[in-house]
Structure 1
């Protein structure tokens, strides 16, 4: 199994407040994650997961992201983007 960095973005209908993004950052921190979206009509996170392939990494990351969104109390907006970067050999040691 390799480690993959998965960036996920959800888009909605209002700007995100700093407090909401801080709460999301706290929720994804255990996943070696970071959050973004202050003032944007979207929010996102980059998290690290273990998987056998890039496709599997997205399948693992999406429910983890959804759980983090609920934990943070962020709006339940649809995911519009999910990108995978690298694997353990290329980016992690």
Structure 2
């Protein structure tokens, strides 16, 4: 299923894998990423960003379309970052992929 085949506002409630990244102005430590990983684990998530000036997570959300999935995952990252004691940096990048898109070899993630 290609992105063009999806109605961005109504693809039906399906599971989406969403990668979200927030960029800032200082290097993130291993201890901070471990805290972030703990905070996103309940969403089937993994965390990244050690040694960079950004932090991020890949999480699973259930949503009616890619835009809603991006919104939900961005909120998950923002809340998890606050719980982990990370700076409140703006979300800079969001990539969304449905299970159907993941199965198809020629589909690329939706980027917001």
TM-score, structure 2 normalization = 0.76
SS in 2 for 1:63: helix
Larger fraction in helix: 1
Instruction: Determine whether 1:25 maps to 2:37.
Output: yes
**Match of residue 4 from structure 2:** none
Within 5 Å, which residues of 2 pair with 1:5-44? 5-44=17-56
TM-score, structure 1 normalization = 0.91
Which consecutive aligned stretches of 4+ in structure 1 deviate over 3 angstroms post-superposition? 88-92
Q: Deviations over 1:3-36 (max 9, x none)?
A: 0011110111111000000000000000000000
* Corresponding residue to 1:88 among 99, 102, 105: 99
- Provide structure 1 residue ranges, at least 5 long, that are not aligned to the other structure: none
Q: Report the Cα offset of residue 91 of structure 1.
A: 4.1
Counterpart-to-counterpart distance in 1, 2:90 and 2:60: 21
Using CA pairs under 8 Å that are at least 6 residues apart, name the structure with larger relative contact order, 1 or 2: 1
Q: Report the Cα offset of residue 65 of structure 1.
A: 1.3
Higher radius of gyration, 1 or 2: 2
- Provide structure 2 residue ranges, at least 5 long, that are not aligned to the other structure: 1-12, 104-112
Counterpart-to-counterpart distance in 2, 1:28 and 1:88: 20
CA RMSD of superposed structures (Å): 1.3
Counterpart-to-counterpart distance in 1, 2:92 and 2:51: 18
SS in 1 for 2:27: coil
Counterpart-to-counterpart distance in 2, 1:77 and 1:56: 21
Paired positions, count: 91
Q: Report the Cα offset of residue 89 of structure 1.
A: 3.4
